[in-house]
Copies of this chain bind each other. A is one copy, B any other.
């Protein structure tokens, strides 16, 4: 089975390269040649990105092979056109579904979702408050939640917009929120609970497939309302959840976007709600900035592509860490 070890990734393509590599077909378009006759314009992808593929010859035969979602062994040459790369395809052979590792072709978190899940469960286990702990166990032992959360992205673009991105964001943000809760002597358990549930509704707001799209409920109700309804239902099932706990927790969920103009019907009015909002904001923007630094463009460019979440270009030159390794340890 084809593996990642010696692959020519999309992100590493260079003009002039002769390719013989596997890609998944993300879209297919039969177009009219100016000189007469049809040609194929494909979007070829792997988990590191996408590139246009053009088929000028054997259009009919190849057109039949190239269904969206199909993995193909592509032979051809990389060329630069209008500042962007494209692959002129000379040959393409379908690869049977059983013979490929699908993980090569879906953009996803760099951390294994099972490891992320273990970290999440570890965070739950450290919660001392029995009511919050019981609620979290009830939520995360719901098989639908577990199944969806392991694959859900955190957004369509902006940040963590990839498979398991929501889980990665949730774990990272809950971890730093817990540390900050301790620093400011807040109610750690409530902060962790709010952090773990603050974006839960996204498992029903977004669908990840060939691309990430909003669901109808996502557009009409939004993740904030869906997670509030879900948590309320779960609390009702528990029976004995204290009213003041419920009020604090629902307030965190209803205010976690921080300001009305970002879709929060409430603004944070408790220290725990303020912290969940700000740790969420930090994790999202930091991830967006680090993704901008790591992706796109030539490695020698001092500046990243334009980052939409930050509305700016990002400086990519990093200072070296000092020898004794104080950084990143």
Copies in the complex: 6
A317 CA to B281 CA, complexed, in Å: 25
Nearest chain-B residue to A229 (Cβ)?
A: B232
Nearest chain-B residue to A79 (Cβ)?
A: B32
Interface flag for A195 (CB, 8 Å): no
Is A189 a contact partner of B322 (Cβ separation < 8 A)?
yes
Is B327 a contact partner of A269 (Cβ separation < 8 A)?
no
Is B254 a contact partner of A225 (Cβ separation < 8 A)?
yes
Interface string of A119-155 (1 = CB under 8 A from B): 0000000111110000000000000000000000000
Interface string of A274-317 (1 = CB under 8 A from B): 11001001100110011001000000001100000000111101
| A4 to B: closest C-beta gap in Å | 23
Is A225 a contact partner of B250 (Cβ separation < 8 A)?
yes
Interface flag for A88 (CB, 8 Å): yes
Stretch binding the partner chain, chosen from A42-50, A100-108, A213-221: A213-221
* B216, B263, B265: the one within 8 Å of A302 (CB): B216
Residues of B within 8 A of A187 (CB): 318-319, 321, 327
Nearest chain-B residue to A254 (Cβ)?
A: B225
* B172, B179, B181, B244: the one within 8 Å of A317 (CB): B244
* B244, B281, B319: the one within 8 Å of A190 (CB): B319
Interface flag for A73 (CB, 8 Å): no
Residues of B within 8 A of A219 (CB): 269, 303, 313, 315
A179-B179, A229-B232 are known; give 10 further A-B pairs, CB within 8 A.
A31-B82, A32-B81, A32-B86, A33-B34, A187-B321, A220-B247, A220-B254, A220-B270, A221-B250, A264-B265
Q: Which 7 A-B pairs have the closest CB atoms?
A: A128-B326, A128-B322, A35-B35, A220-B251, A129-B322, A185-B328, A128-B324
20 A–B contacts from the bound complex (CB under 8 Å): A32-B88, A33-B34, A34-B34, A34-B39, A128-B322, A179-B179, A179-B183, A181-B327, A187-B327, A219-B313, A222-B254, A222-B265, A244-B319, A248-B319, A260-B261, A261-B261, A263-B266, A269-B313, A269-B314, A274-B285
